[in-house]
Amino acid sequence: MTLAKQLLPILCASIFLSACSTGSNKSFVLVPPSESQIENSIKAQVSLTLNAFTPVAGQALPNETVLDAYLSRDYEPIWIQDEKVNTSIYKLVDVLEQSYTHGLNPIHYHSGIIKEYLALKQPSPQQLAEMDVIATIALTSYAHDISNGRYEPQLIDPNWQLDAPNSHWKELLYLDSATEMVNALPLLAPRSPQYQVLQKWLVYYQELAAKEKDILVSAGVPLSAGDTGPRVAQLRARLVQLGDIRFSTRKLNEEQFDSSLKEALMRFQQRHHIAADGAAGSKTIEMLNIPLKSRAKQIAYNLERWRWLPSELEANRIWVDLTNYTVDMHLNGELTSMKAVIGKPDRKTPVFKGLMTYMVTNPTWRVPHRIARENLLPKLQADPNYLIKHRYKVYSSWSIGAKELDSTKINWKSISEDQLAFRFEQEPDEGNALGQFKFMFPNKNEIYLHDTPAKHLFREAERAFSSGCVRLEKPMVFAEAITKGSKQFNEMNNTLKTGSNTVISLPNYIPVYLVYFTVVPNANGMLEFRNDIYARDNLMEEAMGYSPIDPRDSI
């Protein structure tokens, strides 16, 4: 079935009654209509065609942008010049058909329909006008999607609040020629080296899945150094297929688990966040056997996430890498990283961008309602002296001037979660839940970075233990880095000595990104597949709903 026939229900029948005839020639000779005929036809068809192309999925097509572009050129065609079809339309079709290499779905860009128009031997002015408008819609939609992402992240996941759309893609429609427009398309994709490496790996997985079957390792007892047999050969072949072993002409016993195979398996385990013991146990075999097509989809989800980020990232920034449980400080040309503790799966740390403007030394912790209801109240019902032991104060309400109460005179067992209206505050000391520092980038989620007395949690490999805020392994290093060389640096040290609760404005405000990627390139350029701790890939799969392997597979 052709693309045009698939899309007929969403197109006005009058537009395509004459356009769906077949032809074998890529180029054709026009019975030249006049330019005024074509322009008049475009003027008549542009609104009708725009309305016919309703969104297939994800973002609405940027129809207003197309209409504005035609208005600005007095409905002069874009793809037809001197009564001939500009050859750049063929290059456009090629670009659209290759959109799957960015994890996008070619069916959204109507290349098959454009090709059917191009196959007409003697197109009418109306057909030429229709083709011109459809090609411009396809160009504009692709330009938008490759630079901003096709999907609205908050429609996929309400906790995903990082979306930084730009309008640079619109400028492409005002270039001097169709050739320049098409040539500008590759420049709209994110320029991040990580995006570019991910895209290359996507193409690798796509091509590999198209020409080879997955080499699977049969279930069985764990495999380790010294073992022999056909399962060892499967393991070796799979690691070759996935790129962890480079093909070698050196003769070896394929069924022998030697030291080089162990090293390759450890590399595989490290980049899949598995304990790198060099033995193929059940977890490792499970990861080895994930199909190539599934991995291609996962890469595509992460490419879309990159398109939701700003087109350019600030040189100085804080990068909270949620799936890696780390905070990376990009400051003054240097990178400093430290471990972090993030929100539990039932209290996810949201994805968003903020601006860090101040810090608090020796902070008081004002317990959020949810934590008070779900965590603090049960402890109080078990031990009425809990607040005194842990240096909490309790106030009658959250209003300014609320009266401080004696916690030992409150019957906590008689209070239910929905009745709890008190305000709880934990005084500054070494046992305070926020430790010595709180780093603030004001946001609606009330998320911030802070110290913690629970240092033992940083020894864990997976560190999703908080109620949403991000705990820092080395808060003093963080505080020194963001105040280095300023008067605030001395102020900070003085307040730590005196133990005073002090708000310190930062000498320079710093953007903070809380990001979530389940596939990233590692330092060696290999892909690192991370645990999808918040099950966000499942939401991406539901929203995107296709297999970005090969356009022929989706037709």
Predicted pLDDT of residue 138: 94
**Would you say residue 533 lies in a domain?**
no
Among residues 132, 161, 195, the one where a domain terminates is: 195
Q: For position 241, which CATH number holds?
A: 1.10.101.10
Does the structure show a pLDDT above 90 at 22? no
Query: Which position among 20, 108, 450, 456 bears the catalytic label?
Result: 450
Predicted pLDDT of residue 34: 60
Residues 473 and 350 in one domain: yes
Contact (CB, 8 A) for 533 and 325:
no
Predicted pLDDT of residue 201: 97
Band of residue 7 on the pLDDT scale cut at 50, 70, 90 = very low
**Would you say residue 157 lies in a domain?**
yes
**Would you say residue 301 lies in a domain?**
no
Residues 46 and 148 in one domain: yes
Lowest mean pLDDT among 171-180, 251-260, 532-541: 251-260
Band of residue 32 on the pLDDT scale cut at 50, 70, 90 = low
Instruction: For residues 344 and 322, give the distance between their C-alpha atoms in angstroms, rounded to a whole number.
Output: 11
Instruction: Please indicate whether residue 456 is annotated as part of the active site.
Output: no
Predicted pLDDT of residue 549: 47
Residues 15 and 53 in one domain: yes
Instruction: Please indicate whether residue 450 is annotated as part of the active site.
Output: yes
Residues 353 and 494 in one domain: yes
Residues 351 and 480 in one domain: yes
Arithmetic mean of pLDDT, 493-500? 93
Band of residue 370 on the pLDDT scale cut at 50, 70, 90 = confident
**Would you say residue 480 lies in a domain?**
yes
| Sequence-distant (≥ 6) Cβ neighbours of residue 526 within 8 angstroms | 243, 244, 267, 271
Mean pLDDT of the chain: 88
- Total domains in the fold of the chain: 4
Residues 480 and 349 in one domain: yes
Among residues 396, 427, 458, the one where a domain terminates is: 427
Arithmetic mean of pLDDT, 493-522? 96
Tell me the per-residue pLDDT of 406-464, one tens digit each, with 9 for 90 and over: 999 999 999 999 899 999 999 888 788 999 999 999 999 999 999 999 999 999 999 99
Contact (CB, 8 A) for 42 and 75:
yes
Residues 326 and 179 in one domain: no
Does the structure show a pLDDT above 80 at 528? yes
Band of residue 225 on the pLDDT scale cut at 50, 70, 90 = very high
Domain membership of residue 240 as a residue range = 215-290
Residues 124 and 74 in one domain: yes
Residues 24 and 99 in one domain: yes
| Sequence-distant (≥ 6) Cβ neighbours of residue 514 within 8 angstroms | 162, 320, 322, 349, 350, 351, 352, 353, 354, 447, 470
**Would you say residue 202 lies in a domain?**
no
Q: Among candidates 103, 175, 163, 193, which has minimal Cα distance to 139?
A: 175
Band of residue 84 on the pLDDT scale cut at 50, 70, 90 = confident
Residues 445 and 337 in one domain: yes
**Would you say residue 542 lies in a domain?**
no
Which residue stretches of 350-407 are H helix? 369-371, 377-382, 386-389
Residues 417 and 446 in one domain: no
Lowest mean pLDDT among 63-77, 263-277, 347-361: 63-77
- Tell me the two tokens of residue 421: 């209206």
**Would you say residue 299 lies in a domain?**
no
Q: For position 488, which CATH number holds?
A: 2.40.440.10
Predicted pLDDT of residue 551: 45
Buried b / exposed e over 380-408, threshold 16 CB at 10 Å, is beeebebbeeeebebbeeeeeeeeeeebe
Residues 281 and 403 in one domain: no
